[in-house]
A and B are shown apart, each in its own frame.
Chain A
Amino acid sequence: MNNNSLWNDALRRLIANRAAVGSACILTVLILAAIFAPWIAPHSYSYQNLDVGATPPSGEFLLGTDTLGRDLLSRILYGARVSLLVGFVATAVALVIGVSWGIIAGYFGGRIDSVMMRIVDVLYGLPFIIFIILLMVIFGRNIWLLFMAIGAVEWLTMARIVRGQVITVKNQEYVMAAQAMGVPNLRLFVKHIFPNILGPIAVYATLTIPQVMLLEAFLSFLGLGVQPPMSSWGTLIRYGVESMEEYSWLLIYPGLTFTITLFALNFFGDGLRDALDPKTSED
């Protein structure tokens, strides 16, 4: 199948990209660690033991403990669950809204398209960070609201990309031929258009995840995101900053984990783009 070989080619190119493969490995380990956190965490993430408050990294506590005596490694593992969950769920929200919006606008074109895209243009100009903070202040710091709010912000670019792709694919001769032969709209779309816009969607989704995680961590850092006893990497960094003068490991390890994750996601996304669309990767 022609369709298959496109993805096979992409996979081959992806595997040849060492940075992308390394990133994929790191991400796999992280995701597994997050899923299995309750089984692999050496200590409880919430048990406070003031006797061992703020001990530096040691054999007992590999990354040390925080000021309340909670094991930092366990907290980072549990934080991974929250941070990655926000990343994936909010991206999924953005994906659903953005892809449907872009497909409808691109596929139907004309007036519908210009109205829908004008709405996107207007929304682009709005100060969304401020709106999210506003929502968190007004409706309480609810994690599901956070998902929805972040997702609702990030769909705009997705809508633009998808619309552009749909228009390009729609005007290709084979699609016009199918149309001329009377293939119904839905079937035309599922068989001929959708497979060809999957690549850019996958790429942009991968690159949206780190942005979303950054946004969540930003809010949590300001104290407006994830609330205790739950902790995301953003909250851990916030606590780390508060006590960094005496206990620098509380800042450095969560910060390192977070940065490495963002790094891996960005490299993987770039690699995916290069693999799926070798034309744009020339420089």
Chain B
Amino acid sequence: MLQILLKRLLIAIPVILIVITITFFLIRMAPGGPFDAEKAVPPEVLKSLNERYNLDAPVIVQYKDYMLNLLQGDFGPSFRYPSRSVTEMIFTGMPVTFELAFYAILVALIIGIFAGVLAAVKRNTALDYIPMTIAMIGICMPTFLLGPLLVLFFGIHLELLPVSGWDTLPGDKILPSITLGAAYAAYIARLSRGGMLETLNQDYVRTARAKGLSEFNVVFNHAMRGGLIPVLSFLGPAVAGLIGGSFVVETIFQIPGLGRFYVEAAFNRDYTMILGTTIFFSVLIIFFNLLSDLAVLIANPQSRSSQ
């Protein structure tokens, strides 16, 4: 198993390097320098700016310098906010985004697994059809629509919950977390239903039943172990989606997280910030894919031999 993990790691490292390299050179292909939007600056100012951002060196040297700085965790200064470094901005936004994503996954796991397992156990009854129809709606309803609708209903119409902010008003974390988690709850519900249906028909579950174990015991201790493996392997790739979702949710709810910083950087053409966040997100996504592969390997011994 250690071997598999090492193999994955060995693939992940070149992939990360490729991502950094492609992003670095793509950004340099962008039309117009970072200061074009501003008023024309005097040549000496431009020169000092170029020096500050290391833009007067040949591209290959810039690339080398960037990579070396990166190894020390230094993403360079922001183009748009010259007084702040990209590293600093990433570390300001990151905890907020992580917290949001954590609550969203929590919401998704609790609701999704509960609904999915219930639907599988009560197959072809109203307890199956109703949650699964809602799950279908959850998958079709995009985050950027669900969020505003929740705001409209719970925030503006009922005036129950705050409509924006993070950590400023009591309860302001509820709507963003539900908005971000809803689609995953829906996917997880479908996956766990499918997985459970499969394991509930397996011989070992039948044996457990035949031994006279309670239905509760059979479902929770025997069937769920195997039945939830699809959920486990879904969680890794879901991180990529969560990051995309955080762009939307943080924009809608005006949350000062990394997702909103990224979208703002994209608008402001804050090239170093885009470069830094892209690298950061990529490493994150690749890391979580690895983690989820590992979790599946641990949970499902069968998958070890097939690798």
Contact = CB atoms under 8 A, between A and B. Distances in A.
Interface residues of B, number: 47
Contacts of B278: 127, 130-131, 134
A122 B11 contact: yes
B197 A258 contact: no
Interface stretch (A2-10, A46-54, A85-93, A243-251): A243-251
B136 interface: yes
B252 A263 contact: no
B57 interface: no
A223 interface: yes
Nearest to A222: B263
Contact of A241 (B31, B137, B148, B243): B148
Interface in B21-50: 23, 26-27, 29-31
A138 B148 contact: no
Q: Is the interface of B mostly helix, strand, loop or mixed?
A: helix
B240 A129 contact: yes
B266 interface: yes
Contact of A129 (B12, B137, B244, B269): B244
Given A214-B142, A241-B148, A263 B240 contact: no
A125 B286 CA distance: 6
Contact of B145 (A137, A223, A258, A266): A258
A263 B140 contact: yes
A80 B220 CA distance: 47
A144 to B, nearest CB: 17
B194 interface: yes
Q: Which of B30, B144, B251 has the most CB of A within 10 A?
A: B144
10 contacts: A126-B15, A126-B19, A126-B285, A127-B285, A130-B243, A240-B148, A251-B145, A251-B148, A263-B136, A263-B140
Closest A-B pairs by Cβ, 6 of them: A262-B140, A129-B244, A221-B144, A138-B30, A241-B148, A255-B145
